[in-house]
Structure 1
Amino acid sequence: MLMKILISGGAGFLGSHLTEALLEKGEEITIVDDLSTAKYFNIRKDVEFIKKKVEEFETEKKYDVVIHLAARPSPEDYIEHPVDTALSNSLGTYKMLEIARKSNARFIYTSSSEVYGSASIIPTPETYWGYVNPIGIRSCYDESKRFSEALIMAYHRQYKLDTRIQRPFNVYGPGLREDGTYGRVVSRFIYQALKGEDVTVFGDGNQTRAFLYISDWVDATIKLIYKDGLEGEVFNIGSDKEIKIIELANMIIKLTGSKSRIKYLPPRPDDPPRRAADITKAKEKLGWYPKISLEEGLKLTINWFKGVLK
């Protein structure tokens, strides 16, 4: 049966890949996005596209599923736009929840591993409450994500809304912006290496992250959308395999055949020293686990960038 699905942030990196997967299933997709972070997005004729900030969006239309993705996920970008960042993850979340409530729709929220802050348990389970600086330079993002989760659970408890929250961990792949304040670590490193520029590492590079290829994220999200019996659940969607950022930089230099050198920059404020996902719950309740290795995913991403940068 055809489902009507509303996706905020559907023009972004995650949203565009998810939209493609849902269109292949024959669903009717509406995207609301202000295009503030979108770069590699082509507006398809079979998608209803509304250019608008999510916090300003209202509609009387009814949907079967509401997916709230709209956010500024790059640290440089959200630090530069703290008010917009906080609003999309607070007022924007409220607007999307109200649409879901009036539609009696299933509500899917893409939160972030940032809600854990500088976690003391690695890999980090969903039961960890988080250790964050509520007034720090990153708080516009991580605290607004935490507020969104609280508001979503309030809607679940008070209105019995079918809500599902996912916390992605460092998703990467083709279509991830590499430029300016939007560039995140994998795409930035690949771009710099292919251009023969210095690969810029914040701090000493010993901080760790666990990376997830985009197709694995899409697979998990599809399960989260369609599977019954997950009301009020929260899932880590990521990898439990840590890698040091300096090791990632060297791996990308090697895979691209680049002669780039490593350039160290001052560390970012409040940058968590380690991050990896405990995905036990996703394995048990979603039947999901990552299938693409880091090296394989990097090769796919590098090949895509080679085509884009010709």
Structure 2
Amino acid sequence: MAKVKYYYDSETLSYRKIKRKKATTLKYAAVFLTAAALFAFLMVFIASQYIESPKERQMARELQNMELQYELLNKRTDDAFAALENVEERDNAIYRLYFEANPIPTEQRRAGFGGINRYKKYEGFDNSKLIAESNKRLDILEKAVVVQSKSLDEIAKLAEDKEKFLEAIPAIQPISNENMTRMASGYGYRTDPFTKVRKFHYGMDFTAPRGTPIYASGDGVITRADSQSTGYGNHIRIDHGYGYISLYAHLYKYNVKVNQRVKRGDLIGFVGSTGRSEAPHLHYEVFKDGERINPINFYYGNLSAEEYDILLKKASLENQSLD
């Protein structure tokens, strides 16, 4: 109940009620309402700053979870980079080195993307830097994987070429040791059996009975099987590619035809004594880029170390050749 206020009237010598003017009442009411509104606003402001709503709490949890996921993604990216670096190191230090290919520089493997800012769309968020950096690392990783994939494709092609090269090199003795009587003469200066003059002998002579099998010393194509070359009699030439050609002379007969493709170890002919020959034997030569080279360097394919050592000693003797 509102208090009633009085004042003393000296003229009437009595107390009279104080009557409040309507304007004053309205003024007090306005002040009260304003104060109440300000208080309510203040409470709402404080609540908004320090007390989270359910929706805000949910968004905060989602943001925290997103940050955790990006951290895990970065960890997985680190692991992927580590695994890729291991492959890259072997690629440069082993594979490409073995196949004589130039290593791929790190700048090329880890190159970014020039031009416009491709990560501009991630700007303006609370975690823009984290999101942009994660996407940038993923892009670099993806590009590095593509570079490595292309490198491995190149290595596979080089390996295939290397395998073909190793199969093509004339790397076995054209007559087996079981069928050979002896290694009669090697590469170098020898005495000519007809003129008795010392001259350079460009091949190796293997003595063997007439009809002894002769084998291709490497993969290739038969380019000649005739007797149209002076001194060689019936002879065969095989083009192995990579600049290598092997020649087999003084044959009794052929087992191949021109343009026929042969594999290392295929039977191509038989020992004879045609042409400029003193006795049945195989005269064998190897050409590299048009130059005749010592065939002794190409018998690692079917001789043991001991057999090769014996052959090397016999081939070094300066004796009389058979052609």
Bin of the TM-score, shorter chain as denominator length: under 0.3
TM-score by length of 1: 0.21
Bigger Rg, which one:
2
- Pick the structure with more strand per residue: 2
Q: TM-score, normalised by structure 2?
A: 0.20
Structure with higher RCO (Cα < 8 A, 6+ apart)? 1
